[in-house]
Structure 1
């Protein structure tokens, strides 16, 4: 009898990203059942509830009472969440200078220029080069 090949594990964070994507796409707070439906109904509701609880514990979503359960909303958009994660990782470092230097050394020249523009704007200076548009990101 042939063995069934094992189902490959999802990459870390994939389910959280999917759940957040469903919340970002929604026009208002969603229950676990609504998130489950938005994701195609393939995942168990308990799995969705666990992910939503973990996201709440991490401060990525807020929740409010909705009947016997909760309705969830994202606290930040995708860019805001990425920025928060980057800051969280930096806060874990004893040697912030080295961590920042290594981060900057790995940027593309376009991202480095964008970072310079953003830093100049944050300092109140006249930014050099093109201004980032609404769709641009670090």
Structure 2
């Protein structure tokens, strides 16, 4: 799932505040200082995509990311691979382009998966 620039900025801010944040505070924190109504519109869109939840907090709502950034990134990677066509070629090219640290993390995750455990 691809996010626009404002959607990405909002998600980054929500991931930085796992306790939740009010739309007004979120708008003030964003670099481009968008209007609160703009932030609310994007939050509704992100909620429809299943990325954001909200709960009543007085007269306003407290917004939270539905999952961690790692969950989002993993889902985005899976979706891209689903659309790759030649998955083997895409994975091979990806693995050939990553840092040794990422290659090690991939190896460890695959080994854990083969052993039936999750990291």
TM-score by length of 1: 0.65
Q: Does 1:71 align with 2:71?
A: no
SS state at 1:63 partner: strand
Structure 2: tracts of 5 or more residues without a match: none
Q: Which structure features the higher share of helix residues?
A: 2
Q: Which residue of 1 aligns with 2:100?
A: 109
User: Once superposed, what is the RMSD of the aligned Cα atoms?
Assistant: 2.8
Q: Does 1:91 align with 2:82?
A: yes
Out of 24, 29, 32, the residue aligned to residue 23 of structure 2 is: 32
Question: What are the Cα deviations for residues 29-48 of structure 1, in whole angstroms up to 9, with x where unaligned?
Answer: 33322311333782111221
- Kindly indicate whether structure 1 or structure 2 has the higher relative contact order, using CA contacts under 8 Å at least 6 residues apart: 2
Pair member with larger Rg = 1
Structure 1: tracts of 5 or more residues without a match: 1-11, 126-131, 133-138
1:1-138 aligned within 5 A: 13-39=4-30, 42-65=33-56, 70-124=61-115
